Structure 1
Amino acid sequence: MADEVLQAQDGSSLSPPSWFRRNRVGIIALASTLIFAAVVLGISRITHDVSYDAVLAALDQVSALRLAGAVLCMALSFGFLVCYDLNALRFVGARLPLVQVAPVAFSAYAIGNMAGFGPLSGGAVRFRGYGRLGLGSDRIAQVVAFVTAAFGIGLAVIGGLAVLVFAGQVAGLIGQPPGLLRAAAALVLGGLALAALWLWRVRPAMLPDDATEGRGFALPSARTAGWQILITAGDLLAAATVLYLLLPADNPMPWTVFVPLFCMALGLGVLSHVPGGLGVFETIMIGGLTPVLPPEQVIGALVLYRLVYNVLPLVLAALLLAGTEFMAHRRLLGAIWAPQVSGAVIPPLMALYALVCGAMLVFSAVLPVAQDHLDWLAGTVPLPVVELAHFLSGLLGLALFVAARGLAHRLDGAFWVALAAAGLALVLTLPKAIAPYEAMALLGLVAALLLTRRCFDRPAALLAEPLTPLWLAALAVVVIAATGLLFFAYRDVDYSNSLWWQFQMSQNAPRGLRALLGIALAGFAIGLLSVLRPASRQVQAAAPEALAQAIALAQSQDDSGANLVRMGDKAVMLSQTGDAFIMFGVQGRSWISLYGPLGAQSARPELLWRFVEAARGVGARVVLYEVPADLLPACADIGLRALKLGEMAVVNLETMDYASSRWGEQRRALAKGTRDGMALQILPPEAVPAVLDDLARISDAWLGQHKAREKGFALGRFDRAYVASQPVAVLRDQGRIVAFATLMPTATRAELSIDLMRFGTDAPRGAMDFLFSALLADAKAQGYRRFNLGMAPLSGFATHAAAPMWNHFGEAIFTHGEKFYNFRGLRAFKAKFNPDWEPRYLIVGGAVSPVAALIDVTLLVGGGLKGVVGK
């Protein structure tokens, strides 16, 4: 019914569109799984006359020379892919040496091509690798956007041109009229040409000057775009040649006709959102090639293509970076490839390597063993050992699959699980099938894990965080693929219930059925445990002991905002070493941390990971509010994304000089206020209780005048105990207190900031300017190095054509939201004190809507919907 609604976990109502947005990642994962299942069914019908033995025979017919040529073309294609990143880095103004760009780019494409979701999987590698090389998150995001757009546009251009020229030949392969194909290609190319013309000729005139004069991400020049089209063309032609060389030498299809078919299959595989386009790409290529080639030869070539173009680069990247990490640890290659590069890229790379080995074990458990291998096993290994080896191989593959996600997060538990599973599976390769290639892959994984042991140093529970929808979809894809392979390999075997109980060395089908049953049941159990995760639980405020420890830490570090923990309205998570803490609150399904980890720098990354793990473990979404830029690499390591929230105004007191002309306005404000009888007095905490009644009177008057309510979480509230816990600056006019500001100091004297600032109705004109000017002078006299004026929300956004939609959203609110909040006025007032503007970020998980996260933060600060509506 149209008026039906869905109930959220917290009891609120969600309309169907809201429910869809909230669960879009799960819906995409489910849709990808269903698409893959349909593709497997379609391939099964297309190849109903093809036997497993015929495919193996076709694989044997590929000559060593053509296989070597395919490997060389793969290397050439990845060389062009590295040029993608070089061109993108040059475009955003970053100059990094090739020897440091190459391992990051190569690994990013090796992972992205295999796992799919390139902007996310390959993008995460770039954030880790380039972030460790000193590149800012904004520039890395621009690089990811550049290479993603370059591939999509280049694929459309090259594929469109190829189809336009060779429409007649392609039409016969896919059963469509040549005129329709030419019209579609012309429409795509014409649309791209019009878009390019608008972007380069019309759009720059609509942009602000700073978007076209070097600030942010301007439009690429015609030369840059031309070079990128050539690079993309070289990549696609080399990749297509890999598969073309693996087809039979007497292939009647010309290479020029094969390329457009390859581009079409590649593009649809990307659009399907199936990991790596697996199945979708194969279906289109089988449908296009079987009219001129036997299907078993096409399937064999596609299997080899996946091994050469997807698996081989992944293994090479993992072993290469593992060896680099090992050698850099011994200071032999540290000057060539920065150790921070390999240390940043290795975890996701090893995770995907483990995932591939896990899938390999699952597939090999259900596929038949060669007859000559069975003959040898029959006289050497007892039958129960062979049966057990097959059954355990599939389960060990699932263990590697689960451990892969932990490896991506650098969990030490995942390292030991992966090492044990790979080691045991390596031992079982002999009694299972005498599989030398499988043994080599597992041996490489074991060696790579041992060489990179120090990269997995997070002591967290492996199963504390359930698998995400995308990982569950990947697990389902593996199980569905294993099922399809089993029925393909044994399609000539008549099924009967007695097959389950046949235990003979020559009976491959029963052995594969039992292995598949174990794999399916174990996979279902893993998925069920992840889906039935507990709902978000209520988080209590900090215990007195934890609060006292957090307050002590707040005093001993450099971030004055940490003193907000004194309010006692936030939960506190302490680091295992007790030298750092996270303060956070809960709103709806969001766990919201203020500023992220605070305290010792060395303890912050581990504490951040523990916070994320705890939140996700109870089904909550992770939000970090007002996070400084130096925390972004640690957030990227965990897979969180950053969006700019605004800019913090920080005055450098060491360079502040009221005698200079730059500070003339503040000097005059001090002189005028002093003549008018105003004076600033800093009260230590012990002197505050004596004036609390006066401060309460001023606070109530201020709230009444502004028709505002007390806030919380990221802002202080007038609570007598809280106000009396810190120094208070009072402004006196003719001896009377007319205004006050609570101060948040640090024992290190690195930073001082204001929290509450309230003015009475009888405060004289110019009181605010006098208060701030006097506070800055007093802080400098006390030896503080910085004075934090607080954040100017939604300011400093770049809104060029390639900027994220979030930037345009924030800039629109900053520009047109004056009736709701004084965005421009607040920034203008703080700008009078000549601050340095430091960016602050909103950090969310990959599947979390930043708008929804910001709404939860607003509700938490305002004390709920009533507090927000009532100001």
Structure 2
Amino acid sequence: MSAENAEAAAASEDEPGPIRRWLGRWRHVLTGLGVAAILGLVWLALSHFAAEITYADVLRELSATSWAEIGLAVLWTFASFVALSFYDVSALWFIGRPLPYTQVGLTSFFAYAVGNVAGFGPLTGGAVRYHFYAPLGLDAEDIGKIVAFVTATFTIGIATITALGLLFVADAVAAPLNIPSSLLQMAGAAVCVVVIGLIVISARGGEARFFGRTLRLPRPHILVLQILVAALDMFCSGAALWVLLPDSGLSLPAFIAVYVVAVGLGVLSHVPGGIGVFDAVIIAVVGRTASVDQVLGALILYRAIYYLLPLAVAALAASAVTAHRMARAPSGDALRVAARAAPAVLSALTFCLGTILILSSVTPASGEVLSLLSRYVPLPVLEASHFLASVLGLCMLVVARGLAFRLSGAWWAALFAIGAAIVLSLLKAVAYVEGGLLVLVGAALIFTRAQFNRPSLLTHQVLSPAWVIGIGSVLAAALAVLFFAYSEVDYTHQLWWQFEFTGEAPRSLRALLGITLAALVFGGWTLLRHARYLATLPSAEDMARAPAIIEMQGRADANLARTGDKSLMFSEDGRAFIMYGVRARTWVALFDPIGPEDAWPALIWRFVEAAREAGARPVFYQVAPENLALYADVGLHAFKIGEEARLDLTGFDLTGSRRATLRQTYARGQRDGLFFEVVPRDAVPAILADLRAVSDSWLDHHKAREKRFSLGAFTPDYLLAQPVAVLRHEGRIVAFANLLTTETREEASIDLMRFHKDAPKVAMEFLFTSLCLHFKAQDYHWFVLGMAPLSGLSTSPAAPLWHRVGRTLFERGERFYNFRGLRAFKAKFSPHWQPRYFAVPGGLEPAIALADVAALISGGIKGVIAK
């Protein structure tokens, strides 16, 4: 069994069953159906609550809100974001890597400003955290632990506070929902019992099992601290809404209990931001003793203050930091990477502005505004502006995803759409607030231009199911708002053909139709277009281009592209390439891209989008830790799969006690008559038959067959491409290794290393030692001894399941592969150990993808279970 197969065996302990595989395959469809059902129920509930109020009533209540109340809401919002920062603070304490609060607070603010818009929960800010924490010295494992810790403790905290809320306000919540209050109290009590049980388990050892999985818990004081942080966050964010609401007879503590229940149900709904679900609960409870139109107006204002305002501040901050850096002004560690959060922030803000454009297109303008426009703007211009602004809103929803991935095409499209929308928003309704927000985002885009450096066309992107659900939710909300805004207008077919300044309902109908048609056209084009890039084996031209790139870069393993069994995807400018294999629905890229690093981001994006467009999962196998931010940017998660042994040849010799064993073995090999020789590439054909005999003997002795993908096979074209090191015994070749080098002499490595069954026992160690001495003499910097699979996985109680399964296999998996023996052999040379990662989509994807990698290496499923 090969080392790569052994890595795949680590996933076998966690291989999902048929039900989990089915759920994983259809989870996007099931999630979409669930969200649609929830939105339908919410629509019915809100329609019932709003049956006796009008759009004008809501506008009147909004304008009646005092600036003092708005100021208090902003202060409570600020306090809530401060409370949220302590999730990260405690997570850093938990992993033993505390950082200054200014850096943690800034990171938390950016992460939650983006995450709150995409949906409650810290996971949505994971990529933002990576960009902030990685330059501060935290590696991928540390950041993964932070995200996992924050997610788990946030869930426990919100569940606890929601359960307590159900115990105290069950009657108020159950009455409008027509369900027994005792049922809600029982649910709340059950959750409280579970949380108390977790605290007890944490005190006794911190480990619990759920559905066959082991959950590592933090110590009780940290767990309780997280619950208190959740309580503080809920109190502050709830108070921000409470000061905006009309007097309903509910005290602040009583309202907070209702608020946490609404937040909890919003989180469970998986609707972004809990929109609709959260609002329905608040209206159902508070609206019983207060005016519903006042409650609805307060909710709209609360959304703007708690969601849109922090996002706008984050965009301003990112733009200011970028402008600061452009002026070469000094800045702190955290500020130097704040600019890298700009794409995520501007993506979320662009999505919000697109939503605002759409909603403003289906709502009426005031009579005074229409009277003003009738004097200066011709009716056809007004009608066209209203219609085009709505379509531009949809375009901004689509463009927002491209901004998140730093596409240059998305940047240009967003800038054009925003510029046009600024003009149209003034022409259609003199919407100066809307226009001001558009100017803000446009300016932020200009200041952060350098962050959108991926030369990919916007039309090349594929919308993810989550993004499609988000756009669908906006369109559903627009339809609901349209019905609400014009509830007093009787529908007739003639409305579609009415064109007049006061005809707001016909104008809104046409705008919604335009949005819907544009969405259908874009969706149909996305589904029907041909894949831009089909995976095929490299052509003769590709095989001629790749070696020139290989020789000009430092990674020796790049020579595996010479095997010809992997597809090659070149960058647009032809300076770099990715080698990859395809197995089932998995595209597996081997290593980081090959070529100049400035060409990598666009090439990685191109590979990921090509895989997704082909209906496959993109995977990067054996990537270096310093490049993980590139994969986080395209939505992939990193899993450690082992360590690569790298020997610094500049200080290598056989003197001293540290390498006494190597020195003795090397001397013994010489006494046994072993002779080391490097055969130049042009002389390899003369010994190819002898090498074949050694290879056949090795395969027969080990009952093995040729591997591929991440290992070379004995093929003449591959063996003749590089020099070969041989060991001779009594004049006969008894061992060989093909050498992997480049013209940079940065590093050297080997691939095939095979021994005749009659070779002396010390032959392998003698060959490695001889290679080290040879490459040192040739002025190479590094000699790469290869991977130690599953080595270096964390033993911490906070380690994720992936590490615990891999560690167990490393320590007890001798029947599969000699993991410990392989690492111990390489450790004799005292190398540097550098982690290697597996970048893959989340969920159930890692186990499935790693099984596909094993099949790629072994030539099929049969090869995985056999040698």
Percent of aligned pairs sharing the same letter: 46
Q: 1:763-842 to 2 correspondence within 5 Å?
A: 763-842=759-838
Letter in 1 for 2:762: G
Q: 1:194-205 to 2 correspondence within 5 Å?
A: 194-203=197-206
1:470 corresponds to 2:466: yes
Aligned counterpart in structure 2 of residue 258 of structure 1, from 229, 250, 255: 255
Q: 1:532-543 to 2 correspondence within 5 Å?
A: 532=528, 534=530, 538-543=534-539
Aligned position for 1:11: none
1:776–1:787 contact (8 Å) kept in structure 2: yes
Structure 1 residue 599: Cα displacement: 2.4
Q: 1:295 to 1:140 in 2, by over 3 A?
A: same
SS at match of 1:460: coil
SS at match of 2:459: coil
1:132–1:340 contact (8 Å) kept in structure 2: no
1:351 corresponds to 2:354: no
Letter in 1 for 2:450: R
Aligned position for 1:569: 565
Separation in 2, partners of 1:71, 1:384:
41
Q: 1:838-857 to 2 correspondence within 5 Å?
A: 838-846=834-842, 849-857=845-853
1:744–1:755 contact (8 Å) kept in structure 2: yes
Structure 1 residue 219: Cα displacement: 5.4
1:698–1:758 contact (8 Å) kept in structure 2: yes
Structure 1 residue 168: Cα displacement: 6.6
> What are the superposed Cα offsets for residues 395-425 of structure 1, whole Å, 9 maximum, x if unpaired?
0101111111111111111111111111111
After TM superposition, the structure 1 stretch with the greater mean CA deviation from structure 2, 669-678 or 606-615, is: 606-615
Q: 1:211-250 to 2 correspondence within 5 Å?
A: 220-248=218-246, 250=247
Aligned position for 2:676: 680
1:432 corresponds to 2:428: yes
2:168–2:257 contact (8 Å) kept in structure 1: no
1:663 corresponds to 2:659: yes
Q: 1:531 to 1:807 in 2, by over 3 A?
A: farther
Aligned position for 2:95: 92
Aligned position for 2:139: 136
SS at match of 1:23: helix
Q: 1:113-192 to 2 correspondence within 5 Å?
A: 113-116=116-119, 118-164=121-167, 181-192=184-195
1:59 corresponds to 2:62: yes
SS at match of 2:490: coil
Structure 1 residue 723: Cα displacement: 1.1
Separation in 1, partners of 2:391, 2:382:
15
After TM superposition, the structure 1 stretch with the greater mean CA deviation from structure 2, 250-259 or 335-344, is: 335-344
Aligned counterpart in structure 1 of residue 496 of structure 2, from 480, 486, 500: 500
Aligned position for 1:326: 323
Q: 1:534 to 1:36 in 2, by over 3 A?
A: farther
Letter in 1 for 2:764: M
SS at match of 1:834: coil
SS at match of 2:786: strand
Q: 1:164 to 1:865 in 2, by over 3 A?
A: closer
Separation in 1, partners of 2:331, 2:725:
53
Letter in 2 for 1:36: L
1:651 corresponds to 2:647: yes
Separation in 1, partners of 2:397, 2:186:
45
- 5+ unaligned residues in a row in structure 2: which ranges? 1-16
1:583–1:596 contact (8 Å) kept in structure 2: no
Aligned position for 2:485: 489
Q: 1:498 to 1:530 in 2, by over 3 A?
A: same
Separation in 1, partners of 2:38, 2:333:
41
SS at match of 1:572: strand
SS at match of 1:820: coil
Separation in 2, partners of 1:204, 1:809:
15
1:328–1:339 contact (8 Å) kept in structure 2: no
Structure 1 residue 278: Cα displacement: 1.0
Normalization by structure 1: what TM-score? 0.92
Aligned counterpart in structure 2 of residue 273 of structure 1, from 262, 270, 284: 270
Aligned position for 1:298: 295
Aligned position for 2:8: none
Q: 1:346 to 1:558 in 2, by over 3 A?
A: same
Aligned position for 1:599: 595
2:321–2:336 contact (8 Å) kept in structure 1: no
SS at match of 2:205: helix
Aligned position for 1:283: 280
Aligned position for 2:304: 307
Q: 1:398-437 to 2 correspondence within 5 Å?
A: 398-437=394-433
Structure 1 residue 743: Cα displacement: 1.5
Separation in 1, partners of 2:293, 2:687:
89
Structure 1 residue 43: Cα displacement: 1.3
SS at match of 2:768: helix
2:726–2:736 contact (8 Å) kept in structure 1: yes
1:538–1:586 contact (8 Å) kept in structure 2: no
Normalization by structure 2: what TM-score? 0.93
2:199–2:220 contact (8 Å) kept in structure 1: no
After TM superposition, the structure 1 stretch with the greater mean CA deviation from structure 2, 121-130 or 265-274, is: 121-130
Separation in 2, partners of 1:242, 1:144:
27
1:74 corresponds to 2:77: yes
> What are the superposed Cα offsets for residues 501-532 of structure 1, whole Å, 9 maximum, x if unpaired?
11121121111111111111111222233344
Aligned position for 2:12: none
> What are the superposed Cα offsets for residues 8-65 of structure 1, whole Å, 9 maximum, x if unpaired?
xxxxxx9886454223234323432342233223311332222212222222332221
SS at match of 2:237: helix
Aligned counterpart in structure 2 of residue 719 of structure 1, from 704, 715, 721: 715
> What are the superposed Cα offsets for residues 180-225 of structure 1, whole Å, 9 maximum, x if unpaired?
555443332221121122123234799xxxx99xxxxx85444444
SS at match of 1:158: helix
The aligned length equals 847
Separation in 1, partners of 2:351, 2:672:
74
Separation in 1, partners of 2:795, 2:498:
68
After TM superposition, the structure 1 stretch with the greater mean CA deviation from structure 2, 373-382 or 469-478, is: 373-382
Aligned position for 1:33: 36
> What are the superposed Cα offsets for residues 641-674 of structure 1, whole Å, 9 maximum, x if unpaired?
1111111122222333321111111111111121
Letter in 2 for 1:236: M
Separation in 1, partners of 2:126, 2:865:
39
Q: 1:670-749 to 2 correspondence within 5 Å?
A: 670-749=666-745
1:709–1:870 contact (8 Å) kept in structure 2: no
Aligned position for 1:525: 521
SS at match of 1:598: coil
SS at match of 2:457: coil
Separation in 2, partners of 1:866, 1:155:
47
> What are the superposed Cα offsets for residues 255-314 of structure 1, whole Å, 9 maximum, x if unpaired?
111111111110111111111111111111112222222221211111111111111111
Letter in 1 for 2:72: G
Letter in 2 for 1:354: T
Aligned position for 2:14: none
> What are the superposed Cα offsets for residues 218-259 of structure 1, whole Å, 9 maximum, x if unpaired?
8544444444333322211000001111111x3311111111
Letter in 1 for 2:659: W
> What are the superposed Cα offsets for residues 559-580 of structure 1, whole Å, 9 maximum, x if unpaired?
1101111212222233344443
Q: 1:866 to 1:146 in 2, by over 3 A?
A: closer
